[in-house]
Amino acid sequence: MEIETRKVQITGGSTYVISLPKKWINKVKIKSGDGIALIPRSDGTLLINPKLSKKQDELTKSITINYTNDTETLVREFIGAYLAAYDLIEIKSKERLSPAIRQKIRKLSYNVIGPEIIDETSNSVTVKDLLDASDFSLVKGIKRMYIISRGMHRDAIIALKNHDTDLMEDVESRDDEVDKFYWMIAKQYNLVLKDVFFADKMGITPQESLGYLLVARSIERIADHAKKLASNAKNVINNPAIIPKIAETSDAILELFDGAINAFYRNKFEYANEVVDKSKKLAKITEELTREILALEGDAATIVSIAYIVDSLERTRAYVLDIAETSINHHFATQPNIQ
């Protein structure tokens, strides 16, 4: 990157003027009389943006399907385009789209926030993002993810104790809702990084948005393990003596989860630091549960599933610890600089 310097001049006794580089003027196609945006930044720099009055074209991503029923590849391409904030996503094929592909596209458009199917032909589907991403509240998004994932974890343990298969299946079905909010927050983070106008409209800095993304990612992982808790609970066909200890450990983890989220929202170092200390002590309890599994007797499928359940508890504890540590980093990143 070539750095050019300009000397500040004064005209009229009170107006400070600098000239703009000609190469840059030609590149962004500014003409005499055009308006540009001057954006003071908190670090003392001044951002000059030529997009003040220019209407931005819709970003379109075309996904060409050269396969028949490979829905997993479609999911990865669609979510990638969504996170990159494309306004239009066109899925097309040289041949007629299969029912499986169409069904997957409908589910994808339902499982993300904003996009809706606006056009269909025999060999194409067009999805348009109808939501202004800046209208979505990061604070409310994190809160919603937290409430859903916490409820999933709690209900998975209740289902384990009562062998309630209906509740287990209900827990598993809620994971898509958490993913929906996580993808939206990840999309917002990408927009903040590449569009200063979007960041200003959100009233957030890249450092702040990173904190929200990292917390959202940890909550999404917690929901994944709540789903695994419910899935493995289905194979516990009797009532091993270790289950009350599992439930007790789960309660302690949820208490830490509450504390970590509270620390993040209140931006309190002391609260987050307390969660870090308690989480590390709780790791010894999950280690003890792992050792107790080795002494279990009975149905092999039950013992294996109990082992997976304890593993999910430990991983959930670790993700709660991640939230607390992110809260600490977020606290210092958002503090005003003191000279």
Q: What is the pLDDT of residues 132-187, one digit of tens each?
A: 898 999 999 999 999 999 999 999 999 999 999 999 999 999 999 999 999 999 99
Tokens of residue 304, six digits: 């294996």
Q: How many beta carbons lie within 10 A of that of residue 51, not counting itself?
A: 14
d(C-alpha 207, C-alpha 192), whole Å: 10
**pLDDT, tens digit, 9 for 90 and up, residues 195-222:** 877 888 888 888 899 999 999 999 999 9
Where residue 54 falls among pLDDT bands split at 50, 70, 90? very low
Output the pLDDT for position 116: 95
With cut-offs at 50, 70 and 90, classify the pLDDT of residue 53: very low
Q: Which residue, 226, 266, 274, is CA-closest to 250?
A: 226
CATH number of the domain located at residue range(s) 137-333 in this protein: 1.20.58.220
What residues have CB less than 8 Å from 36, skipping those under 6 apart?
30, 48, 49, 50, 52
Percentage, residues of the chain above pLDDT 70: 94
* Whether 256 contacts 279, CB under 8 Å: yes
Nearest to 233, CA basis, from 147, 167, 320, 149: 167
Percent over 90 (pLDDT), the chain? 62
CATH fold of the domain at 60-131: Translation Initiation Factor IF3 (3.30.110)
* pLDDT over 70 (residue 339): no
The residues, ordered by sequence, that sit 6+ positions from 293 with a Cβ below 8 Å of its Cβ are: 242, 303, 306, 307, 310
What pLDDT was estimated at residue 12?
73
Domain boundaries, the chain: 9-49, 60-131, 137-333
Contact 257, 222 (CB under 8 A): yes
Q: Which residue has the higher pLDDT, 250 or 53?
A: 250
* pLDDT one-digit tens code per residue, 281-326: 999 999 999 999 988 887 888 899 999 999 999 999 999 999 999 9
Q: What are φ and ψ of residue 69, in 5° steps?
A: -125, 30
Q: Across the chain, what does the average pLDDT equal?
A: 89
- Assign 69 a pLDDT band (cuts: 50, 70, 90): low
Please, which residues have CB within 8 angstroms of residue 305's CB and are 6 or more apart in sequence?
Answer: 232, 233, 234, 235, 236
Q: Report whether pLDDT(6) > 90.
A: no
pLDDT category at 22 given cuts 50, 70, 90 is confident
The per-residue pLDDT for 110 is 92
